[in-house]
Amino acid sequence: MAGITCLPCWRSKAWAACWMPDSMRRLLVLATGGTIAGRQTAGGGYRAGQIEGQELLAHSGLDGSGLHIDVEDIASVGSQDMNQAIWLRLARRIEAAAVSGGFDGVVVTHGTDTMEETAFFLSRVLAVPFPVVLTGAMRPADAPDADGPVNLRHALLLAAQPVPDSAGNVLVAFNGNVHAAQWLRKVSASGLVAFASPGACPLGTFIGDHIRWTPGVAAPASRRYSLPASAGAWPKVGVIYAHAGMEPEQVRACTDLGWDGWVLAGVGNGNASGACLAVLAEAAERGAVVVRSRRCIDGWVTRAAEVDDDALGFVAAGIYDVPQSRILLMLALAETRQRELIQQHFLQ
């Protein structure tokens, strides 16, 4: 039997939404650092990534709960220093956990600053038969009101249970909500309500230790990409942020780097001043792939609506926001450099 149903839910026939893990479940926690592993410093600040995964687990209230939980430290960084090399280590370790067959779920502890990027990346490269759940915290581990312990507890409970297929295989448990990697966005630089799923809504909500899955909300199915052979093999893709009064020299300073691709964090529907678009079009002419994404928190960047993508040689990002577009473009460029094909990747 995979789990135990609690009595009130069994009586109310709501058992699918309320599931308690049994002691046969085996989880792997991969710690990467972040504020969840942070310690306060004299003077009111804190340093991220100071505490090892095993100690984090001890604060979750689930150490010794009967769940079998293995813990490994993959990295110990503030997530502003998260990079492709750590992503590769993480993805390979999760793949190995799937191949060895001993685990029912994986939890990744992570800084909140780039959690949405790691979640999106993993969702595009992993095809594993168990849930991968990321979590973190906005307050360091030794703060009196630390949010890490409950977030980690929720992540472990989520990873220990069967997740509906519609939720996708990479999830984030944070501040009592369950988010899909596809929709996740950090929306607050300081508050506990740090994440949202703009354009959708959380897949579920914790009520105590139980999850209520939101009816009718599903993570879209997505294409899977191969992992690059090494961190050095990733195509180089940067971001250019558009704004009022932007000057073409700013754009040229970037495109002169000769990188493989650029994502425009465009105003409105992925737009920028005519002079800046002209510099990007020159870069596209020279072979860089230019993707027009959006500064706006939500919405769809439409191909050839306001901007003539065909004439300028651009790719429209569709539903993907700026950090997602950068990751998707790196993964797509590892497969092809043909702009028309890359455009298809952004329409899926």
Judged by beta carbon, residue 34 or residue 266, the one nearer ligand SIN is 34
The reply to whether 32 belongs to the active site is no
Q: Name which of 214, 226, 203 is nearest 125 in CA terms.
A: 226
Other Cβ atoms closer than 10 A to 212: 14
DSSP 8-state assignment for residue 22: -
Cα–Cα distances in angstroms (integers) from residue 277 to residues 102, 237, 271, 273, 295, in the given order: 52, 17, 8, 6, 16
Cβ of residue 173: shortest distance to ligand SIN, in angstroms?
Answer: 14
Rg of the chain (C-alpha set): 21
β-sheet bridge partners, residue 173: 178
CB 107 within 8 A of CB 311: no
Cβ of residue 179: shortest distance to ligand SIN, in angstroms?
Answer: 15
DSSP 8-state assignment for residue 235: P
Cβ of residue 246: shortest distance to ligand SIN, in angstroms?
Answer: 28
Cβ of residue 161: shortest distance to ligand SIN, in angstroms?
Answer: 25
Residue 193: both structure tokens together: 């309500």
> What residue number has its CB nearest to ligand SIN?
111
The residue from 35, 114, 118, 255 that is catalytic is 35
Is 325 among the annotated ligand-binding positions?
Answer: no
Is 113 among the annotated ligand-binding positions?
Answer: yes
Distance CA 227, CA 185 (A): 24
Judged by beta carbon, residue 111 or residue 168, the one nearer ligand SIN is 111
CB 174 within 8 A of CB 193: no
The residue from 109, 112, 118, 135 that is catalytic is 112
The helix-helix angle for 274-285 and 248-255 (nearest 10°) equals 20
Largest CA distance in the chain: 67
Judged by beta carbon, residue 22 or residue 55, the one nearer ligand SIN is 55
The reply to whether 41 belongs to the active site is no
First and final C-alpha spacing in the chain: 37
Is 118 among the annotated ligand-binding positions?
Answer: no
Judged by beta carbon, residue 137 or residue 219, the one nearer ligand SIN is 137
Cβ of residue 51: shortest distance to ligand SIN, in angstroms?
Answer: 12
Judged by beta carbon, residue 139 or residue 212, the one nearer ligand SIN is 139
Q: Which residues contact 254 (CB under 8 A, 6 or more apart)?
A: 238, 240, 262
Judged by beta carbon, residue 78 or residue 176, the one nearer ligand SIN is 78
Q: Name which of 252, 251, 275 is nearest 264 in CA terms.
A: 251
Distance CA 191, CA 205 (A): 18
Cβ of residue 10: shortest distance to ligand SIN, in angstroms?
Answer: 38
Residues lying near ligand SIN in the complex (CB under 6 A): 34-35, 48, 78-80, 111-113, 136, 138
Residue 148: both structure tokens together: 């890490």
Catalytic residues: 35, 112
Which residue ranges make up the annotated binding site?
79, 112-113
Which residue ranges make up the annotated binding site for substrate?
79, 112-113
